[in-house]
Chains A and B, each alone.
Chain A
Amino acid sequence: MKDRDIENRLATYVQQTTPDVLDSVLQQCDEQEGRVLPMSSIQKINHHPKKRTWRIALSAAAAVFILATGLIMGYQYQSLHRVDSIVEIDVNPSIELKINRQEKILSATPLNTDADVILDGMDLKGVDLDIALNALIGSMLKNGYVNELRNSVLISVENEDEAKSAALSQRLTEEVNKLLADSSIQGAVLSQTLTGTEDLEQLAQTYGISLGKAAVIQLLVEQDPSLTFEDMANLSINDLNLLLSSKNADLNKITSVGDASSGAYIGEEKAKSIAVEHAQVSLSEAAFQKVELDYEDGRVVYEVEFSSAGTDYEYEIDAAEGTVLKYEREQKRTANSTNSSTSQSYIGEEDAKMKALTHAGLSSSDVQFVKAELDIDDGKAHYDVEFYSGTTEYDYEVDAYDGTILKFDADVENFTIPTNDSSASYLGDAKAKAAALQHANLSEGDVTFTKVKLDHDDGRMIYDVEFYSSSGDYEYEIDAFSGAILEWDCDAKHSGQNDASSPDYISQDQAKSIALEKAGLSDSAVTFYKVNLDYDDGRALYELEFKSGSMEYEAEIDAVSGAILDWDSERDDD
């Protein structure tokens, strides 16, 4: 069961069992009307709560009366204090302003920690909206949230009157642009009006962002499903604005004035030149299909796609630092232009399988096919062939006309990569495994390999080697040429493969009695909730939890030495 499920069920339970005391509350408020409510009167109410039953009978009529008088008396006050519009200003600081009909601020609420900085020491209550806006933008400029590199501001207006919202949002857009221009900044203002926001509220709440920002993100995510709401929630309005324009997103209800500054990033031209340089292709020979700002794995990147001399390249380049994060190259089918023009028949699935097997150096009895199907990609027909041999997975794309291998991927043992000239110098899986074992000081018989894979990482070729032994889980990254250990990680976690605890360990009962001795309690005085053998930081330990009366205890005991590693006791009724 997930945390969220637990919480939902608890919430549902409480919601279902919450008693209804409203009538009684209204009744008693009425009794107190016009009087200051001293503490003693609260105590008094408390002394006869059982009178509730008859009060409820009375209260329905009373409540109607109270509501009527309350509304009349409250009117004067409400016209001044009633929220007429809600205005949200997002940069990265997100601030919500509630204004009355006279456009005076009723409240200014910071919606994130950056906004705390902006609002710090500012009392905007009762201030005109225009003046407040001036103060807020001024503070954002002063604190560096808006500058030449990040010039985007989002204005969201909510009012029941759509026309009024639109007019207000347009006016505020102009105002913000003017304020930025006064500071010699070419602003980029996104503005929108918000209505019918139930779904958005949920999202805004989940990610702790403003409703306006949630609306923008929703629009982005709808148009590019590869983006996640969660990732986008962390971006500033300027980044979101850049993504909107780079993806040529349909802005729908959002009005955009000015261009978001990409000054914080290297720019598309620079991204292109970094990519071609890395590919050792000259800029003039590259035909670019795509240069787009995108968001991947927690960072803003440029996606660059181009082709040159029959090869397709795909690059992902860190937009801020210009480093190549990922790249891929794919040889186009060279005979494509001559062959595909004629209506040539496909080679068939069986033949495609055979081609892949031959390439992999296997026979059909060695493998288990997962998939062999015709696929058309970019107008070219090929077979996707996938099969397993032992624990190794092979993934092939075979040309549907002439059976050439277009692309392959494998988690392979004793595999050398042909076609690529540098392949001969790769270590091979066996040597990679040996290097890892040697480093871990283990022999092949001690371990079970879960992964040995040749991989690209940060622009170089490595072997990912993963295995476990009775002592823990190991992960290695090994240079594919030199065999040098680049990175390793040993997590002495219980791998689940050897459930029987080692005879070297003290027993659960021994662990219990060590804990009891420490607590000064006898077995009969306590209830154990948990006695678990666990592995933490490379050592085996028992985790115990128990309770005696109102005291709760938690202990971690070394499973070998019996030493108490961690001890915590807590009174339950604090």
Chain B
Amino acid sequence: MVMTSSAHSNSSPRRASVEEALLFQIASGSKEALAQLYAETKSAVYGFALSILKNSHDAEDIMQEAYIRIYANAHTYKTQGKPLAWILTIVRNLALMKLREQKRVTTLPPEDWEIPDVTHGPDDTKLLVSALLNRLTDQERQIVILHSLTALKHREIAALLDLPLPTVLSKYHRALEKLKKSMKEEDPR
């Protein structure tokens, strides 16, 4: 089998070609391919939705909707070597739509991202996530999440977020500085 699956979602050329092949098969109605694509990309899709919506329930809803859209629209995907960017554009559009909808309906306090507990990993992961939520601007958070969870290049992230490349670069570096600093402050070691 040329196509292999792995737990990591990323956009290496190799992976991109796998994802692209899966999209072709999804276009012909293969749910097996959809399940494979899901396994490849779920963390990136969820993480990106979360970084926009800052609410795990909303992110989960968008995640579901996104894969349903992917299934329905795979035939419209054009070969560009950027299947993950295509997928994440769908996620972004759905998430932004959701935000607009929320703004119309309610005036909820904007930042109520519930941070689910993690059982594994260092204790201060929660601190890091809370810094991600509270100290970064929306754009900074989205950039850091995309860069952490996918192998998208800054250039590709810039295209996805409709931002100029230098902006993405400076925001990315600033965001990491902020995160590092917040970890240092919390942890005097």
Contacts and interface: CB of A to CB of B under 8 A. Distances in A.
A70 B29 contact: yes
B14 A205 contact: yes
Interface in B103-144: 110, 116, 118-122, 125, 128-129, 132, 135, 137-139, 144
B76 to A, nearest CB: 11
Q: Which of B72, B73, B144, B176 has the most CB of A within 10 A?
A: B72
Nearest to A81: B24
B68 A42 contact: yes
A16 to B, nearest CB: 5
Interface string A1-40: 1010011111111111111111011101110110011000
Interface residues of B, number: 75
Interface string B167-187: 000000000101111111000
Interface in A238-260: none
Given A9-B125, A78-B28, A81-B25, A17 B56 contact: yes
A548 interface: no
A574 B68 contact: no
A98 B83 CA distance: 15
A552 B14 contact: no
Given A24-B64, A86-B2, A573-B110, A110 B69 contact: no
A52 B68 CA distance: 14
Contacts of A12: 120-121, 125
Interface string B24-44: 110011111011001100110
A45 interface: yes
B15 interface: yes
Contacts of A106: 21, 24
Q: Which of A11, A52, A96, A125 has the most CB of B within 10 A?
A: A11
Contact of A49 (B14, B50, B61, B147): B61
B138 A572 contact: yes
Contacts of A67: 31-32, 35
Given A9-B122, A32-B68, A25 B34 contact: yes
A159 interface: yes
Given A29-B31, A46-B61, A67-B32, A159 B2 contact: yes
A63 interface: yes
Contacts of B125: 9, 12-13
Nearest to B121: A12
A189 B154 CA distance: 33
Contacts of A159: 2
Given A13-B125, A19-B46, A21-B60, A86 B118 contact: no
Contacts of A197: 14
A25 B68 CA distance: 6
Contact of A16 (B118, B135, B139): B118
A341 interface: no
A6 to B, nearest CB: 5
A160 B29 contact: no
Contacts of B153: 208
A263 B118 CA distance: 59
B68 A29 contact: yes
B144 A7 contact: yes
Contacts of B29: 33, 70, 73-74
A432 interface: no
A266 interface: no
A18 B12 contact: no
A1 B184 CA distance: 8
A211 interface: yes
Given A98-B21, A572-B137, A1 B183 contact: yes
B13 to A, nearest CB: 5
A90 to B, nearest CB: 12
8 contacts: A7-B147, A9-B125, A42-B68, A63-B35, A83-B3, A109-B81, A529-B135, A552-B137
Interface of B: 1-3, 7, 10, 12-17, 20-21, 24-25, 28-32, 34-35, 38-39, 42-43, 46-47, 50, 56, 60-61, 63-65, 67-69, 71-73, 79, 81, 94, 98, 110, 116, 118-122, 125, 128-129, 132, 135, 137-139, 144-145, 147-149, 151, 153, 176, 178-184
Given A28-B68, A98-B17, A529-B178, 14 more contacts: A14-B46, A16-B121, A19-B63, A29-B34, A29-B72, A42-B94, A49-B64, A70-B31, A78-B25, A109-B16, A109-B17, A204-B12, A205-B151, A530-B181
Q: Which 5 A-B pairs have the closest CB atoms?
A: A205-B12, A37-B72, A109-B81, A7-B148, A14-B47
